[in-house]
Amino acid sequence: MKRLFLALCLAMAAATAAAMDPDADDPAVEARLVELAKDLRCLVCQNESLAGSQAALARDLRREIRVQIRAGKSDREVIDYLTARYGDFVLYRPPFRPLTWLLWLGPLAFLGIAAAVWYRLAARRPPEPMPSPDRLADAERLLEDRHP
Amino acid sequence: MIPELGQFALIVALLLALVQAMLPLAGAWRNDAALMSVARPAALAQFGFVLVAFVCLAISFMVNDFSVLNVARNSYSRLPELYRFTATWGSHEGSLLLWVLMLAFWGAAVAVFSRRLPDAMAARVIGVMGLISVGFIAFMLITSNPFERQLPAAIEGNDMNPLLQDWGMIIHPPMLYMGYVGFAVAFAFAIAALLSGRLDAAWARWSRPWTIAAWTFLTLGIVLGSWWAYRELGWGGWWFWDPTENASFMPWIAGTALIHSLAATEKRGVFKAWTVLLALTTFSLSLLGTFLVRSGVLSSVHAFATDPARGAFILGFLVVVVGGSLALYAWRAPRIIAGGGYSGFSRESLLLANNVLLIAALGAVLLGTLYPLVVDALGLGKISVGPPYFNAVFVPLIAPALFLMGIGPLARWKNGRLADVAARLKWPFAAVLASGFALAFALDEFKPWAALGFCLALWIAYTVGLAFRDRLRGGGDLPRAFWGMQLAHFGMAVGVAGIAVVAAYSSERDVRMAPGGSAELAGYTFTFRGAGPREGPNFHAMRGTVEVSRNGARVATLHPEKRVYTASGMAMTEASVHPNFFRDVYVALGEPLDDQGAWSVRLFHKPFINWLWLGALLMAIGGFLAATDRRYRLGRAASRAAAKLAAQGA
Amino acid sequence: MKRWLPLALFALLAGFLAKGLFLNPGEVPSPLIDRTAPAFSLPLVGEPGRSFGPETMRGQAWLLNVWAPWCVSCRQEHPTLMQLARENRVPIVGLNWKDDAREAAALLARTGSPYVAVPDDRDGRVGIDYGVTGTPETYLIDRDGIIRLKHIGPITPAVWRDRFEPELKALGL
């Protein structure tokens, strides 16, 4: 299934190659496009960004984004345009809302737990006194002795 | 005949694995030397039969036996010989066989190199490895038989996935699986220790070289995969935080924590329960990765073709192995005696800090990888968690660990004091901070993350130098383990510097290029000389010629290709790269744009990208040195004595 | 108690993984469900000079089937669509997505057309407005022009029975 899908993506890319939008000449628009598209997901070929994907749909979406950037839309407006059509699924950076609180705050909690664990185990543990010279000597002998 | 022989060998291997699992474990339980002595020969024989099965599959691929379904689906008569061989592990079934082969290999290696282990310990370790083999061979025979025939035979094969037709892919899976599966040894040692109740410094010493060896392979496997993606996917990315990549990265993080925690357990008898838990976790994450990649629960660029029966089987296996081992841990943990004390700024304490930070970072990666699945499973919709999330949460968690990496090796065991370290390091720290920021300012544009990266890299590199000076001044020799650790740490410094630069200062352009036209990027001039057809063994290609020059001086002539593979009809972008120590110049062909020979072309400038691969290579070399330290090759008697001592002391 | 924590966490994880086996990560829900179908006006394949917009279909429920002549899965669902057209169950509009109008007309002439109209979305802009990710995809739009259902992938008799029929019943059809 996966391979079929990929093949279809590529077939589509080939089928529409002639209609492809040639490179936009405005480097400022391109820079913003790349910045935006890096954080957006190509819907067709599963886990690839819109910036990297060569799928036809990704190219169309890049073209749409270019048009919107040229029309003076803000990043926010461009992203809203896409989520209105494709849902939050296109966002590689999930928005911070109740559904993703755990996602965004989880790592912070992990850091807190890590610090607490370390503090409990390490910071409050006094070193035990050195073993007596006798025991050290025993240990040495045991190590030396190859035929116990 | 050959495929049937292979299948037969696999069935025999399954039976042998059962023997390898049951008898020695029973023997260790009943203290029966005869039963325990079965372990080694059974492990060796199992490896022999799996090897036969693997060779049979490889032969089927080499002779283009399209009556074997797996061969027909994943190979092609016009595929070059080398790729016909590597196609053996190019499919789900074949890669599983490779996995089983690696597992049997590690089992056999334990059988050969464990002569100095107490018999009961060796029997338990080999027995547990046998149990894992049983699971995987059964999985293969039941759901994913690589030798399945189809009648009538196909006339021609469907070809290997073109993405895999690259020599990075030849060695990436074997290395990766050696790493994944190698952690089974650490896992088996942990289970054996829990079963016997013998959790001591000797146990840590035994399992340490195996763990480091597995980690070394995994490091190589991951970096080869990244290098492959960089060159083969055609858009200059080298790490995407894709679920499949995370599946290999999570055991790596846990394994990194494990080798450090094992060091503390071996040297000082501390963190025993934690170390055991980490050993269980690391291999569990390898299994989880297998499940994620092969069950289709997450969508990924490089997942295998999926089938629910397979997912269900692996999940069942996962529940038995991981659930069972964690239950065993919960049951036996109270028996673990806490180790000696240490001060708040001792090496133990710093290793612990490094461990908890690594585990927190691991937790973040796991959370991000599984969150879409959890949201979907709760019926709350579909979301994506991608690189922006992982970069945002991973970097802040790992940066302090990298900072501590500089201090840890300089702190004393047991009685280290903050004041000592601070007195030594405060001026160097200031110098590192100043030069890190100065470096970032010296580059064309100041980027804070790059400055952080430079500071951390310089910091680690400086402290590595300091550790060498201390050693040499102290008149001590430089054992391999010391070289290994320092080299691995230095490799990390090199890698961090590479990541900092490549992430902050890469540039790229998508340009329309007509023959004779040129474009500028990062001071380089790219002149397009047109594209012409070229015939490959199993593909047609359009091969472009791009001349790269800088200030009028010729740098390189690059030949990116756009290929269409004959059998599958898949199109592939074959990038062309001119590397040097400080940067890659990278060109990929897009699409033809008109009848006059104009193409869309992607140009990349990737500064310091090769430092990344170099850093990882240094880490792997460090791992190799540490795993082969003389201490681990001592005679049987000496290690017995050490074990006895440890048992008494702890 | 602490020692049971790893096992408890794993049990939770295993539960989600088990549930995950029954989910399809590729199936992305559309945010357009229960929203008004986006307006457009496109030329019709094979009927030069005439154009089509969703407002034409007001007052009746209809299917918007996104397809393309090169698409293999679309041929797979073609018989099912033909059957629906014969039964006059619901009118089907076939959006020709990003492909040549002449090829579309030729293919329909050869295989028969289940469509009441075939608007031509040459550059895929309308597809983007509908959140189309590939072909085939099918939208069920009600009398008031509200999208009630989106199906990704070919329509089989089973899909029709399990997904579309209940929704049509709910619409009183």
Q: Is the dihedral of CA B282, B286, B288, B292 positive or negative?
A: positive
Q: Does C31 contact B at CB distance below 8 Å?
A: no
Under an 8 A CB cutoff, do C6 and B281 touch? yes
- What confidence tens digit (pLDDT) does each residue in B225-274 have? 999 888 887 667 888 898 889 999 999 999 999 999 999 999 888 888 99
Q: Does A55 contact C at CB distance below 8 Å?
A: no
Dump the DSSP string for B434-485: HHHHHHHHHSSS--HHHHHHHHHHHHHHHHHHHHHHHHHHTT----HHHHHH
> Cα–Cα distance between B597 and B529 in angstroms, integer?
10
Closest CA to B46 of B129, B118, B149, B120: B129
Is B637 a residue whose pLDDT tops 50?
A: no
Dump the DSSP string for B7-51: HHHHHHHHHHHHHHHHHHHHHHHHT-HHHHTTHHHHHHHHHHHHH
Q: Which of B308, B327, B373 sits opposite C7 (nearest CB)?
A: B327
Q: What is the pLDDT of residue A16?
A: 37
> Cα–Cα distance between B207 and B203 in angstroms, integer?
6
pLDDT confidence tier of residue A1, bands split at 50, 70 and 90: very low
Under an 8 A CB cutoff, do B343 and A127 touch? yes
Q: Is cis: bond before B152, omega within 30 of 0?
A: yes
Q: Which residue of C has its CA nearest to A80?
A: C31
Under an 8 A CB cutoff, do B381 and C14 touch? no
For residues A111-115, average pLDDT: 94
The answer to whether residue B225 is domain-embedded is: no
Under an 8 A CB cutoff, do B387 and A114 touch? no
Chain C residues touching B327 at Cβ < 8 A:
7
The answer to whether residue B563 is domain-embedded is: yes
Is A138 a residue whose pLDDT tops 70?
A: no
Q: What is the pLDDT of residue B609?
A: 94
Q: Does B521 contact A at CB distance below 8 Å?
A: no
Contact yes or no for B172/B88 (Cβ under 8 A): no
Q: Does B511 contact A at CB distance below 8 Å?
A: yes
Chain C residues touching B295 at Cβ < 8 A:
17, 20-21
Q: What is the pLDDT of residue B641?
A: 55
Of all helices (H) and strands (E), which one includes residue C165?
A: helix C165-170
The residue of C1, C5, C7 whose CB has the most chain B CBs within 10 angstroms, and thus the best one to mutate to test that interface, is C7
Query: Which residues constitute the domain of residue B115?
Result: 1-165
Give me the residue spans of the domains in chain C.
32-170
Query: Which residues constitute the domain of residue A135?
Result: 96-148
Range in A49-58, B460-469, C78-87 with the lowest mean pLDDT: A49-58
Chain A residues touching C129 at Cβ < 8 A:
85
Q: What is the pLDDT of residue A128?
A: 55
pLDDT confidence tier of residue C20, bands split at 50, 70 and 90: confident
Range in A86-100, B136-150, B413-427, B609-623 with the lowest mean pLDDT: B413-427
Under an 8 A CB cutoff, do C28 and B374 touch? no
Q: How many domains does chain A have?
A: 2
Q: Which residue of A has its CA nearest to C153?
A: A5
Angle between helical axes of A27-38 and A75-86 (0-180°, round to 10): 50
Closest CA to C155 of C68, C76, C71: C76
Range in A53-57, A69-73, A126-130, B530-534 with the lowest mean pLDDT: A126-130
Min Cα separation A57/chain C (Å): 7
Min Cα separation A148/chain C (Å): 38
Contact yes or no for B489/B456 (Cβ under 8 A): no
Under an 8 A CB cutoff, do C28 and A46 touch? no
Q: Does B130 contact C at CB distance below 8 Å?
A: no
For residues B418-437, average pLDDT: 89
Number of H helices, E strands in chain B: 20, 10
Is B589 a residue whose pLDDT tops 60?
A: yes
The shares of helix, strand and coil residues in chain A, as percent rounded to the nearest 5, are 65, 5, 30
- What confidence tens digit (pLDDT) does each residue in B407-421 have? 988 888 888 888 888
Contact yes or no for B139/B314 (Cβ under 8 A): yes
Q: Does C158 contact B at CB distance below 8 Å?
A: no
Is B367 a residue whose pLDDT tops 50?
A: yes
Taking a contact as any Cβ pair under 8 Å apart, which residues of chain A between 109 and 148 contact chain C?
A: none
Q: Give the burial string for A75-99 (b: 16+ CB within 10 Å, else e).
A: eeebbebbbebbbbbbbbbbeeeeb
Whether A106 and A134 map to the same domain: the answer is yes
Q: Which of B311, B319, B334 sits opposite C14 (nearest CB)?
A: B319
Closest CA to B528 of B541, B543, B516, B512: B516
Whether A79 and A139 map to the same domain: the answer is no
- What confidence tens digit (pLDDT) does each residue in B23-39 have? 999 999 999 999 999 99
- Using left for φ > 0, alpha for ψ between -120 and 50, and beta otherwise, residue C131 falls in left
Q: Does B296 contact C at CB distance below 8 Å?
A: yes
Q: What is the pLDDT of residue B632?
A: 77
Min Cα separation B135/chain C (Å): 18
Tell me the three-class secondary structure of B177-188, residue by residue. HHHHHHHHHHHH
Other chains touching A, judged by 3 or more CB pairs under 8 Å: B, C
Q: Which of B390 and B201 is assigned the larger pLDDT?
A: B390
Q: What is the pLDDT of residue A8?
A: 42
For residues B482-490, average pLDDT: 95
Alpha helices in B63-165 (DSSP H): 69-74, 81-86, 92-113, 119-143
Q: Half-sphere exposure of B36 toward its Cβ, with a 13 Å CA cutoff?
A: 16
Taking a contact as any Cβ pair under 8 Å apart, which residues of chain C between 1 and 30 contact chain B?
A: 3-4, 6-7, 10-11, 13-14, 16-23, 25-29
Question: Where does a domain end: A79, A95, A111?
Answer: A95
Q: Which of B237, B242, B397 sits opposite A111 (nearest CB)?
A: B397
Range in B44-53, B418-427, B495-504, B520-529 with the lowest mean pLDDT: B418-427
> Cα–Cα distance between B201 and B647 in angstroms, integer?
8
> Cα–Cα distance between B432 and B434 in angstroms, integer?
5
CA dihedral of residues B338, B342, B348, B353 (deg, nearest 10): 90
Is B636 a residue whose pLDDT tops 70?
A: no
* C62-67/C92-97 β-pairing: parallel
Closest CA to B116 of B648, B628, B635: B635
Question: Where does a domain end: A73, A95, A117?
Answer: A95
Q: Please report where in the chains the tokens 């072909």 appear, as a residue.
A: C135
CATH of the domain at A71: 1.10.8.640
Joined together, the tokens standing for residue A30 give 């391109």
Question: Where does a domain end: B131, B165, B199?
Answer: B165
- What confidence tens digit (pLDDT) does each residue in B552-562 have? 999 999 999 99
Q: What is the pLDDT of residue C100?
A: 85
> Cα–Cα distance between A78 and A72 in angstroms, integer?
10
Under an 8 A CB cutoff, do A44 and C134 touch? yes
Min Cα separation B352/chain A (Å): 7
Is A137 a residue whose pLDDT tops 60?
A: no
Q: Does B334 contact C at CB distance below 8 Å?
A: yes
Is A93 a residue whose pLDDT tops 80?
A: yes
Min Cα separation A64/chain B (Å): 16
Q: What is the pLDDT of residue A17?
A: 37
Min Cα separation A18/chain B (Å): 6
Give the other-Cβ count within 10 Å of B233's Cβ.
21
In 3-state terms, what secondary structure has residue B628?
Answer: coil
Contact yes or no for B577/B233 (Cβ under 8 A): no
The burial of B341, by beta-carbon neighbours within 10 Å (0-12 exposed, 13-18 middle, 19 or more buried), is given as middle
The answer to whether residue B480 is domain-embedded is: no
Under an 8 A CB cutoff, do C20 and B373 touch? yes
Whether A40 and A109 map to the same domain: the answer is no
Give the other-Cβ count within 10 Å of C102's Cβ.
11
Closest CA to B17 of B184, B225, B254, B168: B184
Under an 8 A CB cutoff, do C25 and B372 touch? yes
pLDDT confidence tier of residue A25, bands split at 50, 70 and 90: low
Other chains touching B, judged by 3 or more CB pairs under 8 Å: A, C
Q: How many domains does chain B have?
A: 2
Min Cα separation B632/chain C (Å): 31
Whether A131 and A63 map to the same domain: the answer is no
Taking a contact as any Cβ pair under 8 Å apart, which residues of chain A between 33 and 52 contact chain C?
A: 43-44, 46
Of all helices (H) and strands (E), which one includes residue B529?
A: strand B524-535
Is B604 a residue whose pLDDT tops 60?
A: yes
The shares of helix, strand and coil residues in chain B, as percent rounded to the nearest 5, are 65, 10, 20
The answer to whether residue B195 is domain-embedded is: no
- What confidence tens digit (pLDDT) does each residue in A61-91 have? 888 898 898 888 999 999 999 999 988 888 9
Whether A91 and A112 map to the same domain: the answer is no
- What confidence tens digit (pLDDT) does each residue in B155-164 have? 888 888 887 8
- What confidence tens digit (pLDDT) does each residue in C129-157 have? 999 888 889 999 999 999 999 998 889 99
Name the DSSP class of C162: I
Q: Half-sphere exposure of A22 toward its Cβ, with a 13 Å CA cutoff?
A: 11
Chain B residues touching A91 at Cβ < 8 A:
383-384
Q: Does B381 contact C at CB distance below 8 Å?
A: yes
Min Cα separation B23/chain C (Å): 28
Q: Does B338 contact C at CB distance below 8 Å?
A: no
Q: Does C169 contact B at CB distance below 8 Å?
A: no
Is A9 a residue whose pLDDT tops 70?
A: no
Other chains touching C, judged by 3 or more CB pairs under 8 Å: A, B
Chain A residues touching B383 at Cβ < 8 A:
88-89, 91, 94, 99-100
Under an 8 A CB cutoff, do C133 and A15 touch? no
Q: Which of B249 and B602 is assigned the larger pLDDT?
A: B249
Q: What is the pLDDT of residue B646?
A: 52
CB contacts < 8 Å between A and C, how many?
Answer: 57
Q: What is the mean pLDDT of chain B?
A: 90
Return the percentage of chain B with pLDDT > 70, whole number. 96
What are the Cα distances from residue B634, in Å, to B118, B290, B639? Answer: 15, 36, 7
Name the fold adopted by C32-170.
Glutaredoxin (3.40.30)
Closest CA to B165 of B247, B235, B75: B75
Q: Which residues pair with B556 in a beta bridge?
A: B548
Whether A100 and A77 map to the same domain: the answer is no
> Cα–Cα distance between B489 and B61 in angstroms, integer?
42
Chain A residues touching B375 at Cβ < 8 A:
99
Q: What is the pLDDT of residue A18?
A: 32
Q: Which of B545 and B151 is assigned the larger pLDDT?
A: B545
Q: Which of A11, A12, A86 sits opposite C131 (nearest CB)?
A: A86
Chain C residues touching A8 at Cβ < 8 A:
71-72, 134
